[in-house]
Amino acid sequence: MNQPVALVTGAARRIGATIAHKLWQQGYRVIIHCNHSISDAEKLAQRLNNDRADSALVIQADLNHPPEISKLAEQALVYWGRVDLLINNASSFYPTPLQESTDQQWDDLINSNLKAAYFLSAQLAGSLKQQQGSIINLVDIHAQRALPGYPIYSIAKAGLQMMTISLAKELAPEVRVNGIAPGPILWPEQAASISPEEQTAIVNKTLLKRTGSPEDIAETLLFLARQNFITGQIIAVDGGKSLYSH
């Protein structure tokens, strides 16, 4: 029972699932949070538990609703009695043209990207302090350079960037708080999907002229989880896109 416990929000699929699996490989017990993707989350947990018994747990919660954020924190602490590492990965992403945006879109994007991460951090702070643990937030390079057509998302991620810095001060010296700002890693789905031509244009605006992989994010996250003298920092994993000037 001395194995550390990591809670990863939005961990059923894509980058979140890769992060959960990477932490599990390093000996963590993982709490896989999901909202709609319960089937994917349960399949991932079953696979991990088949290889190492009692090493993965699924908790479903809608991060748009404060009572469910509290429930997620409570259930996470009850099951193994501790949380050592909180990964705020869950995120909504879709365009919100300024004159067409709605209150509902504002609430959804701010809640999923920022508000839930803040209150989950607050409610788990006691355990994180006790374990000398850390929080790692998945920010975005567009927290600093707004993505055209996505103003609410960009605002939310800018808030998450400042939250990372603020909580690093609030929770020091016991808890380290850092962030990762991904560039082009996985192409968005559904309402935010972009054409092959747009994908090519984005890749051409990276210095390395290629996309990254979820593994790149997971490896950076593992470094931040292990490195005990870094706090309040945000690492861009973007192939140099944030430096591209043309």
Known catalytic membership, residue 153: yes
Other Cβ atoms less than 10 A from the Cβ of 3: the count is 13
Q: How far apart are CA 144 and CA 163, in angstroms?
A: 14
Domain definitions of the chain by residue range: 5-241
What is the per-residue DSSP string for 99-119?
A: GG--HHHHHHHHIIIIIHHHH
Q: pTM value?
A: 0.96
Q: How far apart are CA 25 and CA 1, in angstroms?
A: 16
Is 5-241 CATH 3.40.50.720? yes
Query: Considering 28, 79, 94, 153, which one is annotated as catalytic?
Result: 153
Contact 83, 59 (CB under 8 A): no
What pLDDT does residue 193 have?
74
Identify the residue whose tokens are 């602490």.
77
Span 108-155, pLDDT tens digits:
999 999 999 999 999 999 999 999 999 999 999 999 999 999 999 999
What is the band of 32 on the pLDDT scale with cuts at 50, 70, 90?
Answer: very high
Q: How far apart are CA 74 and CA 61, in angstroms?
A: 12
- Structure token pair of residue 228: 């005990």
